[in-house]
């Protein structure tokens, strides 16, 4: 029967991922002239629009704990927070239990989703608060560990510790075993906090704006990741570079995609196109899948989620990733 929240019925199978679920909202049922189609989440409906079927959960927990993906670039304005939020949301909508960690004191993850945690990453790192208790449930399968300006004080705390590069790893490792994936939104900086995030992560996604200066900056990112491996003795891997703000009408965008593909091959992830809906979604405190599920932005981040899942357990070792020329 229809009511204010939508539909209530015994569960059909999702036409995309084949998961059984309970009908609850009108968007979940699509009845036309042919066979009815059912969608357990907005992401699955978006996938159907794109002609993608036969999805499964994948991308989830390995035997040694959750996947730990850092979204990292020294340069600002490359779409790190947008990518972290929508990658985490996309993985969560597939049934993965996801923890999104805001490792940037600007607190943009919380602002984008309309949340403010009483305890933050600062309290986890400095006061030893349990990460799973400090995190805030924000969506089905998605929790967020927020940050704010206090994170700057945590940097001072880290600097005084003997194991200063591994505090985040020590504080989080035992308290996130209930998650399948941890996604970290890193600040645009060369900082001790980012070093902690990279030593905790097992793989890295590098958003790269499709402009000349961002391409030049990729070399610095690769050097940082190699330093983590060689100096801090942590085998962080390059999951891929993600072209953002791609505009096919723009010559520099096309040249950027060509350069990244030449250098990184399959590690050049599907590009995120310039899309007004992506800019608008944070003001509505929604993910792109909630705000505009049929937009280019939603389709592009769906493609990213699918690629990340396909790369599970096969992140390219950094010493096999070619350096950017010149």
CA torsion angle for 213, 215, 218, 220 (degrees, to 10)? -40
Task: State the helix-helix crossing angle for 212-231 and 192-200, rounded to 10 degrees.
Answer: 70
3-state per-residue secondary structure call for 270-304: CCCECCHHHHHHHHHCCCHHHHCCCCHHHHHHHHH
> Given this model, what pLDDT does residue 55 score?
47
Distance CA 312, CA 67 (A): 9
Of residues 141 and 31, more confidently modeled = 141
Residues 269, 144 within the same domain: yes
Which pLDDT value is given to residue 185?
98
Count of domains for the chain = 2
55 part of a folded domain: no
Q: Please tell me whether residues 10 and 115 are part of one structural domain.
A: no
The reply to whether 217 and 316 lie within a common domain is: yes
59 lies in some domain: no
Give the pLDDT mean for 39-66. Answer: 59
- CA separation for the pair 241, 265 (Å, rounded): 10
Looking at the domain assignment, is residue 289 inside a domain?
yes
| 30 and 76 together in one domain | no
In this structure, are 30 and 134 located in the same domain? no
Both 76 and 10 in one domain: the answer is no
CA 152 to mean position of chain CA atoms: 23
The two three-digit tokens of residue 36, written as one number: 């009815």
**Residue 223 domain-assigned?**
yes
CA separation for the pair 143, 176 (Å, rounded): 11
Question: How far is Cα 90 from Cα 19, in angstroms, rounded to an integer?
Answer: 16
Supply the mean pLDDT for the chain. 85
Confidence at residue 215, expressed as pLDDT on a 0 to 100 scale: 83
pLDDT reading at 218 higher than 50 = yes
Please indicate, yes or no, whether residues 15 and 144 belong to a single structural domain of this protein: no
Q: Domain check: are 21 and 148 in the same one?
A: no
Is 198 inside a domain boundary? yes
The enclosing H or E element of 256 equals helix 251-264
pTM over 0.85: no
Would residue 47 count as lying in a domain? no
Domain presence at residue 127: yes
Cα separation, 98 vs 90, whole angstroms: 10
256 and 119 fall within a common domain: yes
Residue 27 structural domain: 2-40
Q: What is the CATH number of the domain that holds 228?
A: 3.40.50.300
Instruction: Verify that 87 and 180 share a domain, yes or no.
Output: yes
């Amino acid at each position: 029967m229809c009511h204010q929240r939508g539909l209530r019925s015994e569960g059909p199978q999702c036409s995309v991922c084949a998961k059984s679920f309970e009908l609850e909202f009108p968007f979940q049922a699509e009845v036309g002239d042919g066979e009815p189609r059912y969608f357990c989440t907005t992401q699955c409906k978006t996938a159907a629009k794109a002609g993608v079927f036969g999805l499964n959960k994948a991308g989830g927990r390995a035997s040694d704990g959750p996947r730990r993906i850092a979204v990292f670039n020294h340069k600002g304005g490359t779409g790190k927070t947008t990518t972290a939020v929508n990658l985490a949301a996309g993985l969560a909508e597939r049934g993965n239990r996801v923890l999104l960690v805001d490792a940037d004191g600007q607190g943009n993850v919380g602002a984008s989703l309309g949340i403010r945690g009483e305890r933050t990453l600062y309290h986890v790192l400095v006061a030893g608060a349990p990460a799973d208790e400090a995190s805030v449930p924000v969506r089905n399968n998605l929790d967020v560990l927020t940050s704010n300006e206090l994170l700057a004080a945590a940097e001072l705390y880290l600097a005084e510790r003997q194991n200063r590069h591994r505090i985040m790893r020590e504080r989080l490792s035992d308290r996130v075993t209930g998650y399948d994936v941890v996604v970290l939104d890193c600040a645009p900086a060369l900082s001790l906090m980012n070093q902690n995030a990279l030593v905790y992560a097992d793989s890295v996604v590098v958003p790269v704006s499709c402009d000349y200066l961002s391409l030049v900056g990729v070399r610095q990112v690769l050097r940082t990741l190699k330093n983590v491996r060689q100096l801090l003795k942590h085998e962080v891997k390059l999951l891929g570079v993600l072209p953002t703000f791609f505009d096919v009408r723009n010559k520099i965008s096309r040249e950027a995609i060509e350069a990244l593909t030449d250098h990184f091959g399959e590690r050049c992830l599907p590009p995120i196109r310039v899309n007004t809906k992506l800019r608008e979604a944070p003001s509505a405190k929604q993910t792109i899948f909630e705000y505009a599920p049929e937009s280019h932005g939603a389709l592009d981040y769906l493609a990213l989620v699918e690629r990340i899942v396909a790369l599970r357990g096969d992140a390219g070792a950094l010493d096999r990733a070619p350096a950017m020329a010149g």
